[in-house]
Each structure stands twice: as structure tokens, then as C-alpha cells.
A and B are shown apart, each in its own frame.
Chain A
Amino acid sequence: MAPALIISKGTELLRFLPDSILCIAAEGNYSIVYTLDGEHCLVSAQLGQVEELLGKQLGEGAKEFIRMGRPYIINTKYIHSIDIGRQTLVLSDCKGGKVHTLEPSRDALIKLRDYVMDHSINRINDPQHEQ
């Protein structure tokens, strides 16, 4: 079975394939998982707990996700634009799927931008790094 984020919700069990997750946002003591199909799902776990689950359950695959400050975990595969001036981060698969706009802090955006740039360069220089 492919690695996935599995969260138990009362009598339910939720399973999210990594590529289906656009981002996860904190909502008080809960978290909301936004998926590529435009749906979102409230889970009874704080974002830090979700982050830890991601790390444990996805292993190396969790490194596609980035925690951005307190409010967000994003899937870096779907970073479409980082606008430092407008302080927005747009997530999209650019295939007609859901477009989600976040407003992280400016410094977090700058760090993300630099991370994406470095990560892209690393992949260009080391194609085997591409998964």
C-alpha cells in the first residue's frame, strides 16, 4: 500500500495520499486538510500533531511537505507562485484543480522562495534526486 497520511477521526479513519494534499491549515485545536480536488476535511488534531504524523507515516515522502510558521503545512509540489510583495502563496497543480491562496508571514515566504530556488537547482544538478 502506498504511503499515506492516516488520521483517525472518532469512528472514522481518514487516508490522504501525499499527492492529494494541497495544504493543511491550523484551526485552533483542529486542523483542516485541503485536498487537490477542492475538498477540505477538519481533523481533531493540532497542526503540530499532523506534522508529526506526516513525518512518521510518509518517511522520506514527508520531505515534500513544509511547515510554514504556525498556521500551515504545504505540499511543495503544488507551489505555483510566491509573491513577497503581496505576501501570498498560491498552491495549485496548474491542471485545473483547486487553487488555494495562503497568506503566510513575509519572512516565511522569503525562506520558502529561497528553499524552492535551491531545491530546484539541486534537482537540476542532480537528476537522480528527482523522485
Chain B
Amino acid sequence: MIPNMNNEMNIGDDEIRVVGTSTPVESSSSAPGKGPCRRRPPRWVAILAAILLLVALAVILFALLRRGGEPEVDPNEGVFDPGSVVVPTFTSAPPSVPALSKEAFAPGMAPFTEKIDTLINDIPLVVLIPHGGVPSLQVGPMDFTDPSIILAAQAADIRRDNLHIVGAFVLAGEPLAWGLSKKGYCGIIDGKISVGVADNSPLFEEATEKGGYFFRQFPLVKDGELVENEIKNKAIRKALCDRSGEIFIAITLTAESMHDFSQALVDLGVDNAIYLVGSSSYGFYRDKDGQLTQSREWAASPYKYENYILWSVPQD
């Protein structure tokens, strides 16, 4: 007797099943121990994927060859510090700490630089706080014998290609450079220093109008938050810092990465900081006793536009 059931339509043309069972046989890998194999994609999908892969490889290869080819000089790449791309990042809020200075400065006292040694995150730092000096910028060789200068440090870097100043620079109201890639800035208007991080700062125009000073550098700390830079090597680092209105220069005694340096400044409670030419750059300070301390022995610089931020005794 032939059953009336018609199972013919209960199986697809792509299916197979063992007679006497109702469960279709699933395709499995030919290798033992492996699970069911997936349906093979159409051949054109494989060809398309191969083409896309080749294109991607070509693009990557092209990019690598370009990087490895003739080096292009970044107009903002400096002699002392290489250029970098600034990537803002985040860190904890700066702790509220009392002023770093331990010295009292009263009107009538001779200006001097206070030196503080501290250790932040195992990084030995020297903090140089100018007392009573008037800040300004200088382009050209530094006269370390000038007793009126109580603190000096190299400020903006110099372009490696044309040996001009990296970034915008205003010297006593005269703009000498207009570069913008470095987001950190220092403006000195009417003897008052402003340190910050911004694409455009009105201080540049104000400096030109009021006979002030302005330069740009890598930003390190902005509003108490670490600013990441792509410079990964380690070197002696220097920074111009603003900590609750207290302006000072911080210098590492050991070679540090920009990140660790910035983090140390953040942990020191710095609100805003920009980099100063580090490594073997020249600088000096005079303490309360007039004692001169140089970062290294002075030597004539081959760079015409080597520039400094300095604090000097006010002229009467």
C-alpha cells in the first residue's frame, strides 16, 4: 500500500536527508573533528574581496614608500625639537596646592630667581620662579654676563629648513614669524605673561599693537589637563608654566618623554604650560645672592634667530 503522504515538497533541491529520518543532513567539513562548514560564497564575492585586498595593500605600500622616501621638511619642524601633531587628551583635575614659592618678595628688593627642587612621579624637577623681573623676549645671542637678567631660557624653536623661528613670534611689537601649527602660546603684554593653548590668540595682535611679545610652542597643559604630543623620544624637558598665576620655568633633570613631563606638570598643579626648547638648550638664572647658574657652558649659537624668554631687572 502506498502512503498518501506527499513528502516530495518537504525537501529543497539543495537538501539531502537519510531516508527514514526527517532531519536534513547538514554539510560538514571534510576534515574530521570540525563543525559544519558554511555555505561557500559566490565566486564573484571572493574575486571582489581579493581585488579590495590588493587595492588596500597597494595603498598601504604607497603610504609606506612615501614615508620612507625623500624626507619633506615640515615648515614647523624645529632645530631643537621635531614637529608634532597635537592631540588633546584628558587627565585628572589638578589638585589644589599652595604656591610653590617659599621666598618672600617685597617691593624694593632686588629681583632674583628662586630655585626649587622637587620630585613629581619620580621625575626630578627644577622649578625656577622669577621674582621681581620683567619678562620679555630676545632674538640673538644671550649675554649671560648681563647682571640685570635674572632668568633666561630658549623660547621658540627654529625651523630646520630656513632657520627662521617656528610659529608666530612678536618681538617688541614687531612680528617676525606667523606660523600657527603649534597651539601653545605665550604673550607678554605690558609686562604680564599669559600662557595658554589656542589656535588663534588675540594676544598676537595685541602684542603687535602694544609693543609686546608673543611666541608659540608645543602645548603641554591646558586648563589643568594634559595635552598629548606625538614626540615620543626622551630628552631634558623645559616648560613655561602658569600655576594659579604663578609663572615659572620647570626643567627636568632626567630625560623624559613629553607625556611624562606633561603629566608631572599636571600633578604639580600647573594650569597651563607650554614647552620651551629643551635638550641642550641654553639658559641661566641668578639667585637671591646674584649667583649665576647656567644650564650649560655658553657657546656662540650658529642660529641667527635663536631666541629667549628672559626676566630682567626693571629699568627705572
Restricting to A19-44, which residues have a CB under 8 Å from any CB of B? 26, 44
A100 close to chain B: CB less than 8 A: no
- Say yes or no: is A54 at the interface (Cβ < 8 Å to chain B): yes
Interface residue B59 (Cβ < 8 Å from any Cβ of A): no
**Are B20's CB and A66's CB within 8 A?**
no
Q: Is B297 an interface residue (CB 8 A)?
A: no
Q: Does B190 make an interface contact (CB < 8 A)?
A: no
Majority secondary structure of chain B interface residues (helix, strand, loop or mixed): loop
Is B2's CB under 8 angstroms from A7's CB?
yes
Given known pairs A8-B1, A48-B10, the reply for A108 and B15 (CB within 8 Å) is yes
Interface residues of B in 147-180 (CB under 8 A from A): none
B16 touches A112 (CB 8 A): yes
- Does A52 touch B at the CB level, under 8 Å? yes
**Residues in A neighbouring B21, C-beta threshold 8 A:** 55, 63
Q: Which of A59, A69, A118 contacts B16 (CB 8 A)?
A: A69
Q: State which of A48, A62, A66, A67 has its C-beta within 8 Å of the C-beta of B6.
A: A48
Question: What B residues does A98 contact at CB under 8 A?
Answer: none
Count of interface residues, chain A, beta-carbon cutoff 8 Å: 42
Contact B25 A49 (CB under 8 A): no
Known A-B contacts A107-B14, A108-B14; the reply to A51 vs B7 at CB < 8 A is yes
Contact A63 B5 (CB under 8 A): no
For the complex formed, measure the closest distance between the CB of B39 and the CB atoms of chain A, giving whole angstroms: 7
B26 adjacent to chain A (CB < 8 Å): yes
**Are A49 and B2 interface neighbours, CB within 8 A?**
yes
User: In the complex, what's the smallest C-beta–C-beta distance from A16 to chain B, in angstroms?
Assistant: 13
Bound together, the chains give a CA A71 to CA B18 distance in angstroms of 14
Q: Which residues of B contact A118 (CB under 8 A)?
A: 28, 32
**What is the number of residues of chain B that contact chain A, defined by CB distance less than 8 Å?**
31
How far, in whole Å, are A111 and B36 apart by their CA atoms in the complex?
10
Which residues of A sit under 8 angstroms from B27, Cβ to Cβ?
107, 110-111, 114
Q: Which of A44, A49, A110 contacts B3 (CB 8 A)?
A: A49
A56–B3 alpha-carbon span in the complex (Å): 10
- Residue in A47, A55, A69, A104 whose beta carbon sits within 8 Å of that of B20 in the complex: A55
Measured between beta carbons, the chain B residues less than 8 angstroms from A113 are 30
Q: If the complex has contacts A48-B8, A70-B8, are A108 and B13 also in contact, measured as CB distance less than 8 A?
A: yes
Closest to A112 in B: B16
* CB of A65 closer than 8 Å to a CB of B: yes
A73 to B37 alpha-carbon distance, docked (Å): 24
Residues of B within 8 A of A102 (CB): none
B17 CB within 8 Å of chain A = yes
Q: Is B56 an interface residue (CB 8 A)?
A: no
Q: Is B119 an interface residue (CB 8 A)?
A: no
**Interface residue A53 (Cβ < 8 Å from any Cβ of B):** yes
Q: Is the CB of A26 within 8 A of B8?
A: yes
In whole Å, how far is B14's beta carbon from the nearest beta carbon of chain A?
4
User: Which residues of B are found within 8 Å of A73, using beta-carbon distances?
Assistant: 19
Instruction: Give the complex CA separation of A56 and B7 in angstroms.
Output: 14
Q: Would you mind naming 6 contact pairs between A and B with Cβ atoms under 8 Å apart?
A: A26-B8, A65-B20, A70-B8, A107-B15, A107-B27, A107-B39
**Residues in chain B within 8 A of chain A (CB atoms):** 1-21, 25-30, 32, 37, 39-40
